[in-house]
Each structure stands twice: as C-alpha cells, then as structure tokens.
C-alpha cells in the first residue's frame, strides 16, 4: 500500500510540475495590432475591454507593418497570443498559428484629387503620384497586387509610403494625386477623406473581375448615402474590393483567453456594417488558416460552463486536472475493490486450508502416514498460512503435522 501511495504522489507531483503553468492563464494577454487608428487597432482595443471584464490583463501593441503581425505569433518569445491578418497566408509557414475566425470585410478605398478626372479603369493611374500606408502594410500589398494587373508598377508610377494618418493628410494637402487605404468603412479616417470636398471616392467598376483574379480579395459595395442620407454621401453606389480580416491566435492559447476572445468577437462584429449584413460575421468559413479546434467547438455550443461561470484561473485548473482527478478516484476505487476481492479470496483459501489440515491431522492421529500428495499439499499450504499470519489454529495444526512430513 505504501508503495502505491508513493507512486500516486510522484505522479501527482509530476503532473503539477509539468502542467500547472499551462493550466493557469497567462499573467498578461498580448494582442498585436496594426497602426494606431487603424481597424486592427480599433478592434484590438474593443477586444481588450471585453477580456478585461473577464479578469484578464491585456496589452495592445501596435506596428505599422501589419503584414508582419503573424510573424510575432510564430515566435513564442514575443508573448503575443492574438493578432490579425488581411492578406494571403501560407499555413505551412505558420504551423503554430490558427484562426479564431473571420470578423470583417475591409474595403480598399481609393481617393482621387478632385479636378484630375476619374480614369475609366485603374490603368489610368499610371504615371500619377500615389500614396498609401507603409510598404509592409496590408494596404500596400493589396494595392500592388491590384495595380499590377493593370500594369501600373513602381517602374512607371510614383509610389510613396507614409504613416497612415500622414498619408491621408498629405493627400488632402494636394501632395499626391491619389491615395489607397484599406480600412473598415466606419473608420474615422475614411469618413474624413469622404467628406473632404477636394477628394473623390473612386468606384472600381472591375471589382468582381479583380476578386476573380486575386483570391484573397472580395467585391463589396458602399451604397449611396451610407455616410449621410441627406447630402447624400456618397452620392452614388461605390464598387470596391477588399480583404477579409482574420483574427489569428497561437495554437497553444489558453482556453480561458480563447473563449473570452471568441465572445468578444461575436459581440463586436455580429451586427451589420456599411458593406455587410448582420449575422455575416464573425464566421469560420473562408478563414486564412485552419480554425482552432476549441473555436470550432465554441461555434457549436458556446462557452463551456466552467469558463462561463468561474474565474479564468480556477476554470483553467479545473479543466486541466479534472481528468487526472477522475482517473485517481477510479484508481482508488479499483484498488479498494481489489483489496476487498483479495481479502475474500484469502479468507476462502485459509478456510479450505484449515479444513484440509484438520482432515490430515485426524488421519495422522489414526496412524495413517501422509502420502506424496499429502506432503506436496502441505508444502503448498505452509507458506500461505505463514505469510498471512492470521489463523493461529491453522498454524498450530501445521506444527503438529510438521514432524510427520
């Protein structure tokens, strides 16, 4: 029994030492967002508020090269657990990153200086001065991918890259002929550019054709009056193309963090936007990476009871250890049952041995010498009775019979 207790205690110690760190949520949840004021940043801060309400400490970090956000999740040393993508992603290059879901369509807006004229296609931008956010941004990648189809390249056109807000300000000052910005349609920067009388929001008539040629871009329509029905603003339907925004997470993200994030995503994005209907997002279809298994289960049945009703730390501990605890209880129960069974067998064996010894003793007392079978049985019974040490009568009978064996 003492050996079994030592084994169980050693197993429990090993389990606690090896898994306690994973059972508890991180001291701080890090969300890597894009530039300040962008859609990734806006969403990250909304998620942070929801996670804080679940007693989780959250830090939002910003970077201008939003294409590189996913690289921060690949590296566990950065501490980043949550990020965003709005670009083509190769799952083979990011084996430690999964998707939590698709949350929004971000259109690629093109604003032209008024008076310059609207070209019939994007090919008319060749030779013009174009400005956009930094080269490592999702906007810059989408812009290059689209314009390349029209043979508008840095070799024949002046491309300039600025911080997002600086790019918008430079366009409004007249330093550039056109500017590209991939943002949510309700973003303040988009609204400010749309209201600028010196700018025109360009309608991309080839939006469906572009989406058929560039797989990560989708067509969208900003309908007349979306910003202002009275003015109206815009004054006509604007055809756009855009990329879907994915929330991506490390595959080892703590369940408490993931469940809180999924609920936040649902609360923030379930309504309609200026380019999508209510209930379209969040969704898992069309995710850039394989969807995290817990996110798949959450979509079916919601947040598990433990994580919905208990603090994250307690829920994590119970979730991590309830399996081993049940196994331990089953082991103890099985051991108790085995002990009872062994006791029953021992009692039965001793009872039979006692009856046999009594019969053998009476034969010896009548002068019948034990044969080879009797002597063999005696040798088999003797160690059992001596080991058990519980039946004095049987031991006495052994001693009386021993001289005759």
CATH at 176: 3.40.190.290
Closest CA to 257 of 311, 206, 203: 311
Mean pLDDT of 223-248: 96
Quick: pLDDT tens for 332-350. Answer: 555 555 555 555 556 666 6
| In-domain check, residue 5 | no
Residue with tokens 């010498």: 369
Tell me how far CA of residue 240 lies from CA of 86, 210, 390, in angstroms: 15, 10, 91
pLDDT in tens, 97-118: 999 999 999 999 999 999 888 9
Let me know whether 228 and 371 are in one domain: no
Angle between helices 164-172 and 188-195 (to 10 degrees): 10
Predicted TM-score (pTM) of the model is: 0.75
Q: Say if residue 351 is in the same domain as residue 285.
A: no
pLDDT of residue 222: 97
Tens of pLDDT along 364-378?
Answer: 666 767 776 667 766
Query: In this predicted model, which residue has the larger pLDDT, 343 or 90?
Result: 90
What's the confidence (pLDDT) of residue 312? 82
Work out the widest C-alpha separation in the chain, in whole angstroms. Answer: 134
Among 309, 338, 361, the domain boundary falls at 309
> Phi-psi region for residue 55, left (φ > 0), alpha (ψ -120 to 50) or beta?
left
pLDDT tens-digit series, residues 179-232: 999 999 999 999 999 999 999 999 999 999 999 999 999 999 999 999 999 999
Query: In angstroms, rounded to a whole number, what is the distance separating the alpha carbons of residues 96 and 76?
Result: 9
Residue written as token pair 């939590």: 100
Beta strands 178-182 and 129-133 are: parallel
Contacts of residue 308, Cβ cutoff 8 Å, sequence gap at least 6: 259, 302
Each residue of 4-44: pLDDT tens digit?
554 555 455 455 544 555 677 888 999 999 999 999 999 99
Residues 262 and 370 in one domain: no
Task: Tell me whether residue 12 is in a domain.
Answer: no
Do 285 and 375 lie in one domain? The reply is: no
Q: Answer whether residue 157 is part of any domain.
A: yes
Task: Please indicate, yes or no, whether residues 283 and 147 belong to a single structural domain of this protein.
Answer: yes
Q: Mark which of 289, 309, 329 sits at the end of a domain.
A: 309
Domain count, the chain: 2
DSSP state of 24: S
Percent of the chain with pLDDT over 70: 74
If asked whether residues 247 and 284 sit together in one domain, one would say yes
Please measure the distance between the N-terminal and C-terminal CA atoms of the chain and give it in whole angstroms: 36
Q: Round the average pLDDT of the chain to a whole number and report it.
A: 85
Q: What is the pLDDT of residues 262-295, one digit of tens each?
A: 999 999 999 999 999 999 999 999 999 999 999 9
Residue 17, pLDDT score: 45
**Predicted pLDDT of residue 293:** 96
> Beta partners for 105?
244
Q: How far apart are CA 287 and CA 101, in angstroms?
A: 6
Answer whether residue 397 is part of any domain.
Answer: yes
Tell me how far apart the alpha carbons of residues 111 and 130 are, in angstroms, rounded to a whole number.
10
Quickly state the pLDDT bin for 311 (edges 50, 70, 90): confident
Cβ-in-10-Å burial (0-12, 13-18, 19+) of 191 comes to middle
Tell me, yes or no, whether 315 lies in a domain: no
In terms of DSSP H, where are the helices of 24-123? 39-53, 69-74
332, 300: one domain: no
What does DSSP say about strands 158-162 and 97-113: parallel, antiparallel, or unpaired?
unpaired
Is residue 303 included in any domain, yes or no?
Answer: yes
If you count them, how many residues does the chain have? 405
* Alpha helical stretches, state H, 270-311: 293-301, 305-309
Question: At 65, phi and psi to the nearest 5?
Answer: -85, 80
Q: Which of 309, 343, 360 is the last residue of a domain?
A: 309
Q: What is the pLDDT of residue 305?
A: 86
Tell whether 134 and 193 lie within a shared domain. Answer: yes
Q: Looking at the predicted structure, is the pLDDT value of residue 397 above 70?
A: no
What is the spatial distance between Cα 320 and Cα 304, in angstroms, rounded to a whole number?
Answer: 13
If asked whether residues 296 and 348 sit together in one domain, one would say no
Compute the average pLDDT of residues 360-367. Answer: 67
Q: pLDDT value at position 265?
A: 97
Say whether both 146 and 276 belong to one domain: yes
- Is 6 within the bounds of a domain? no
Residue 13 domain-assigned? no
Regarding whether 301 and 392 lie in a shared domain, the answer is: no
Whole domain around residue 31: which residue ranges?
A: 24-309
Residues 267 and 343 in one domain: no
């Amino acid at each position: 029994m003492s050996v079994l207790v030592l084994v169980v205690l050693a197993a429990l110690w090993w389990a606690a030492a090896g898994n306690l760190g994973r059972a508890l949520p991180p001291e701080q949840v890090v969300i890597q967002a894009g530039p300040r004021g962008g859609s990734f940043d806006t969403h990250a801060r909304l998620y942070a508020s929801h996670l804080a309400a679940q007693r989780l400490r959250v830090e939002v970090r910003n970077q201008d090269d939003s294409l590189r956000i996913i690289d921060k999740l690949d590296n566990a040393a950065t501490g980043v657990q949550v990020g965003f993508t709005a670009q083509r992603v190769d799952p083979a290059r990011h084996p430690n990153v999964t998707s939590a879901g698709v949350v929004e369509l971000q259109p690629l807006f093109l604003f032209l200086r008024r008076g310059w004229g609207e070209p019939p296609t994007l090919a008319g931008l060749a030779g013009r001065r174009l400005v956009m956010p930094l080269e490592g941004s999702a906007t810059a990648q989408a812009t290059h991918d689209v314009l390349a189809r029209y043979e508008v390249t840095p070799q024949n056109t002046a491309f300039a890259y600025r911080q997002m807000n600086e790019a918008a300000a430079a366009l409004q000052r007249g330093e550039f002929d056109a500017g590209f910005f991939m943002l949510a349609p309700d973003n303040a920067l988009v609204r400010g550019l749309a209201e600028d009388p010196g700018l025109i929001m360009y309608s991309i008539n080839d939006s469906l054709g572009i989406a058929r040629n560039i797989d990560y871009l989708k067509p969208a329509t900003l309908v007349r009056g979306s910003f202002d029905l009275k003015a109206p603003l815009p004054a006509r339907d604007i055809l756009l193309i855009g990329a879907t925004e994915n929330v991506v997470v490390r595959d080892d993200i703590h369940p408490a963090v993931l469940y809180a994030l999924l609920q936040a995503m649902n609360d923030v994005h379930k309504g309609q936007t200026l380019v999508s209907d209510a209930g379209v997002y969040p969704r898992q279809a069309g995710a850039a990476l394989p969807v995290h298994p817990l996110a798949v289960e959450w979509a079916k049945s919601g947040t598990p009871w433990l994580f919905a009703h208990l603090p994250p730390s307690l829920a994590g501990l119970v979730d991590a250890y309830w399996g081993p605890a049940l196994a331990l209880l089953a082991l103890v129960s099985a051991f108790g049952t085995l002990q009872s069974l062994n006791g029953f067998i021992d009692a039965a064996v001793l009872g039979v041995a006692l009856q046999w010894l009594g019969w053998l003793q009476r034969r010896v007392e009548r002068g019948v010498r034990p044969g080879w079978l009797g002597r063999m049985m005696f040798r088999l019974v003797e160690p059992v009775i001596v080991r058990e040490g519980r039946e004095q009568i049987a031991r006495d009978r052994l001693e009386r019979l021993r001289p005759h064996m």
